[in-house]
A and B are shown apart, each in its own frame.
Chain A
């Protein structure tokens, strides 16, 4: 099947392109960019007034399979990703059993293949069972297909283990993704420690719990040369630390979630558990720092930390409720509304954040529309207005704080290997 996307604005930072071009896809690959005359046998899609970009990559999602298929499966997660404009996702290893072995990695890939929608790239565990004690068989997992290692959800507390992981990961040139949290300092808190936590009477989490680990990671990356990637960065000082480390040439990258650049702790009203996540929502000045980091290049990418939970796990008191929200089906509209429409970043920078950079970090060989590249493509309609409706989500879960929000700018078509896997119906 040959597919022609006609009349769209192609934005591809990997080729420094941002102009009106037709894009031809043949045999699952980009075969031409330019003014292309359609042939009768081709499928031609009019994408004028749309933005055509290399496929978006969400490098931080929880698909819950194996183990918690009541929250999400690889299939439902893939459907949510496709509807959210993502062509590739990297799934975290904190499943049950943990993805700390070649066998689980293969299982995930087999399920993803059967789902047959987006590309699923598993992240493997750093340590066996995420216990922070012994390294998992990283080489075996890489051979099976993992693209990063992380103990996400469980910080690697032991500095020696973190150091060894960074050293060892150099063999495979994969990033070590760190969930930065000093556990004793986080002190079983449930939200950011501030005047808001004081007023609500909810135990707070000191921002230092994140920042200390970010500082540690920059130091360990410097002495080992291993690539470290900070997951879901959330404080002003963490961003400042990464900015400084990058200036010194340290191999550090970081991601931010949409909720950390859109919401702050003052949005937690009436103990709504849809505003409970880890790291917690921070203050308004942290949100400002996230926006600055997004625009000045300190923050490399936007990742959702898509964390499905059942209704029961959220219908509890704030302190008892599970951490996390789902994000794949709202990330692009939120980014368009809060970053593009508010003129924080350019469209080309947004594509770097969603595609070029996560591709560079994970070395997936996607994230480009160069001739010959695999045709993973996201099409966005900047004029498309949506009202977030959790009941319409493809995800199995509904834990989302943005229900009812009106947003402008949404993915309208998702193409993986030249095949249209999602199309927005008006």
Chain B
């Protein structure tokens, strides 16, 4: 069974069986990355364009490596803010790239809905949302789920705490959508200034107190906090933010002994996570990065039809 839609724009549009399909496919692709020759010809002759309007190292290289390991070609188009102001609109860029007949365009953009706009103007290529503004980052949520499942039997019934700047985080939105769909009890935690309006509608509990969020948690997901938020009066200082919402060994004791700590990276050490903790046994941060490649291989594979044999 392939995916229902031609594009992957957000977790919101995925059904539970599609999420499971992506996760299962990812698992079968994981092994390729451990081989001596890390390449299969499954997607030979296909091409991926990474269209990135925001700086990114991990996500972009992850998509690129995923494509290459499946034998597809990938190219990166980095659009800096300055060339945007030179006037080529997203739609024009999309139409131009489409004329080169790529099979997939992975787009990252500072504005929510940019992948949706591109999808309206692309009638042949599949669009993958690689992060749009404060909206969604579906492959991140999928790789997080894969990582959780490497450590826990099932997501259903798990207690997951998501801590930090919920308001500006596409990672939080995609993760809440996915985890709630899969039956987890999700608690989001941050200062009220960084909790968006009516967030309870997502089916997640909201708290301003990290202790409440961590109590009995199986998974602790820390979000990246941008220092600029201090200027926008979301909190008074990084020092105070860390004291209230940063994770350290002491606070980690409130969570279950078996709890894992996740972070979408890159970490601001000393803002979200005590460096000591990042190196302790809880952290699965680098496993997330590894799983990112497998998940993106699965997504590329499934979007490109999955009709052919996997060639494993």
Contact = CB atoms under 8 A, between A and B. Distances in A.
Contacts, number: 67
Contact of B89 (A195, A312, A318): A312
Contact of B112 (A194, A312, A316, A319): A319
A285 interface: no
Contact of B133 (A199, A204, A315, A319): A319
B39 interface: no
A316 B90 contact: yes
A30 B203 CA distance: 64
Interface string B131-168: 01111100000000000000000000000000000000
A317 B111 contact: yes
Given A198-B198, A201-B173, A317 B135 contact: no
B197 A200 contact: no
A201 B134 contact: yes
A64 to B, nearest CB: 21
Given A317-B117, A318-B111, A319-B111, A201 B201 contact: no
A317 B114 contact: yes
16 contacts: A194-B197, A195-B197, A198-B197, A201-B132, A201-B173, A202-B112, A202-B134, A270-B113, A271-B113, A315-B89, A316-B89, A316-B91, A317-B90, A317-B109, A318-B113, A319-B133
B144 to A, nearest CB: 18
Interface in B95-134: 109-114, 116-117, 120, 132-134
A201 B116 CA distance: 13
Interface in A260-280: 270-271
A271 B129 CA distance: 15
B201 A195 contact: yes
Contacts of A316: 89-91, 117
B263 interface: no
A194 B196 CA distance: 8
Nearest to A197: B197
B135 A200 contact: yes
B91 A315 contact: yes
Nearest to B173: A201
Interface in A336-386: none
A200 B112 contact: yes
A193 interface: yes
A128 interface: no
Contacts of B197: 193-195, 197-198, 204
B68 interface: no
A297 to B, nearest CB: 32
B170 interface: yes
A271 B112 contact: yes
Contact of A198 (B12, B110, B116, B196): B196
Contacts of B12: 199
Given A194-B198, A197-B196, A316-B89, 16 more contacts: A195-B197, A195-B199, A198-B198, A199-B12, A200-B112, A200-B135, A201-B173, A204-B196, A271-B117, A312-B89, A315-B91, A317-B109, A317-B111, A318-B113, A319-B110, A320-B111
A399 to B, nearest CB: 16
Chain B CB count within 10 A is highest, among A193, A197, A199, A312, for A199
Interface string B57-100: 00000000000000000000000000000000111000000000
A201 B91 contact: no
A317 B113 contact: yes
A203 B197 CA distance: 10
Nearest to B170: A201
Contacts of A200: 112-113, 135
